[in-house]
């Protein structure tokens, strides 16, 4: 069975765009005015239909969003900043230098631990 060649050009049923341009070019002013008025009424009708469609969708989404936001407010945790952390560690050399235990190990603690058998727990405030 032979392969059927692909059809080239416009799909079946499509209109020739050039004929529309030629027909408009041959119209007189009265016919053009009537054609423009007809197009404006069709455009207004389509805009009204689209607006109604999008407003319906927006109303549905509004209900969905309000349900989602009410669920989010119930399950939301604390907001804002944390309270200042209480220091848990202090330097052996300088008692005024303290660390809360949050974040990276401070330089003073690393330097004091370097070359000794001291560990992080040894700097704990009792």
Tokens of 34: 């009537």
- Boundaries of domain holding 101: 89-123
Question: Count of domains in the chain?
Answer: 2
Mean pLDDT, to the nearest integer, of 61-71?
A: 71
Q: Same domain, yes or no, for 69 and 26?
A: yes
Q: Is residue 35 part of a domain?
A: yes
70 vs 63 pLDDT, higher one = 63
> Are 37 and 64 members of one domain?
yes
- What is residue 6's predicted lDDT score, i.e. its pLDDT? 75
Query: Do 68 and 97 fall within a single domain?
Result: no
Task: Give the C-alpha distances (Å, rounded to integers) separating 92 from 89, 115, 116, 123.
Answer: 9, 15, 12, 7
- For residue 61, being part of any structural domain is answered with yes
d(CA 38, CA 92): 91
Rounded to 5 degrees, φ, ψ at 94 are -125, 105
pLDDT at 32 over 60: yes
User: Is the whole model's pTM more than 0.85, yes or no?
Assistant: no
Closest-CA residue to 97 (of 64, 123, 122, 78) = 123
């Amino acid at each position: 069975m032979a392969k059927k060649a692909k059809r080239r050009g416009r799909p079946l049923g499509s209109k020739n765009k050039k004929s529309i341009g030629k027909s408009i070019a041959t119209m007189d002013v009265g016919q053009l005015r009537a054609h423009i008025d007809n197009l404006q009424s069709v455009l207004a009708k389509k805009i009204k239909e689209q607006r109604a469609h999008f407003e319906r969708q927006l109303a549905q989404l509004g209900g969905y969003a309000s349900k989602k936001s009410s669920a989010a407010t119930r399950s939301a945790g604390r907001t804002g900043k944390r309270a200042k952390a209480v220091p848990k560690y202090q330097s052996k050399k300088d008692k005024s230098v303290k660390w809360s235990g949050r974040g990276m190990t401070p330089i003073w603690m690393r330097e004091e631990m370097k070359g000794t058998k001291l560990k992080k727990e040894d700097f704990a405030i009792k």
